[in-house]
């Protein structure tokens, strides 16, 4: 099995998303990869135990990716060996009425992990410069004082929001939260195959939604937004990692390492 070098996956310079890998050869079969993942997961669980005793740091694990990228199963497998009391997972979907009565970062801030724990954001605060950027009409639901129409959701608005997100991450980092951000990079062809499996395999039918097909038509829009996110918000204190995600066991192992 190949040695993994973190720097090979970290977004440290400006990138074009079309140049990033969606597949990676570990030089190992599925059984070997899963065996090594269990070892790494146990090591991570030991680190969390030490963190809990130390009581000064938390870890925020942020995961983003296109539909079918394998976010849920990755979380399940990477954290399988953890004591359940040492890890908390949050999945951020459409904001509730209560959440819309606060600023867009509020629901993420109150879900941050306490010192000694790992917190998982399955879809993250970056949905606020992703979904809402592809569908700017959603911004109107936030009832912002200076936004009266979609025309007000301009580039200056997005520049301000990116600055707010960078400030948010810098603030929590300086106060003891170690941040890892993973972009599960799945190819368009692989996404098509996974969507078809949801349709053709009865046990996967529950995962399929007609909205998946509508969103797939916006693939290029989402890729452009992700490219902007990776370039504007990968910082030394909150780095992004591109995780080739066309093979799920490989992606899980890379994230754990």
How many angstroms separate the CA atoms of 130 and 133, rounded? 5
**Which tens digit of pLDDT belongs to each residue from 107-144?**
999 999 999 999 999 999 999 999 999 999 999 999 99
| Strands 87-91 and 118-122, sheet pairing | parallel
Q: Residue 191: pLDDT above 70? A: yes
| Across 52-63, average pLDDT | 97
192-211 pLDDT, tens per residue? 999 998 887 766 666 667 77
Instruction: Report the distance separating Cα 100 and Cα 92, nearest Å.
Output: 13
Per-residue pLDDT, averaged over 42-50, amounts to 95
Question: Can you read off the two tokens belonging to residue 176?
Answer: 């003891």
How many other C-beta atoms can be found within 10 angstroms of the C-beta atom of residue 212? 16
DSSP class of 19? G
pLDDT band at 46 (very low <50, low <70, confident <90, very high): very high
Neighbours of 255 (CB within 10 A): 22
pLDDT digits (tens, 9 = 90+) for 211-256: 778 888 999 999 999 999 999 999 999 999 999 999 999 999 999 9
């Amino acid at each position: 099995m190949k040695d993994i070098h973190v720097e090979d996956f970290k977004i440290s310079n400006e990138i074009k998303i079309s140049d990033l890998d969606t597949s990676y050869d570990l030089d190992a079969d599925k059984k070997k990869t899963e065996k090594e993942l269990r070892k790494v997961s146990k090591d991570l669980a030991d680190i969390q135990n030490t963190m809990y005793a130390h009581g000064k740091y938390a870890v925020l694990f942020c995961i983003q990716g296109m539909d079918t990228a394998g976010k849920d199963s990755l979380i399940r497998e990477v954290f399988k060996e953890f004591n359940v009391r040492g890890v908390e997972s949050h999945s951020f979907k459409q904001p509730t009425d209560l959440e819309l009565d606060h600023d867009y970062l509020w629901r993420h801030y109150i879900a941050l992990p306490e010192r000694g724990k790992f917190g998982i954001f399955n879809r993250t605060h970056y949905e606020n410069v992703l979904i809402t950027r592809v569908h700017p009409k959603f911004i109107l639901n936030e009832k912002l004082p200076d936004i009266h129409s979609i025309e007000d959701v301009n580039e200056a608005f997005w520049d301000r929001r990116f600055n707010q997100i960078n400030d948010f991450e810098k603030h929590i980092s300086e106060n003891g939260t170690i941040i890892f951000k993973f972009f599960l990079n799945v190819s368009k062809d692989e996404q098509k195959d996974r969507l078809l499996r949801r349709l053709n395999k009865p046990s996967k039918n529950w995962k399929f939604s007609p909205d998946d097909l509508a969103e797939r038509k916006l693939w290029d829009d989402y890729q452009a937004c992700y490219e902007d996110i990776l370039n504007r918000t990968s910082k030394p204190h909150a780095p992004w990692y591109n995780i080739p995600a066309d093979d799920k066991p490989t992606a899980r192992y890379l994230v754990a390492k």
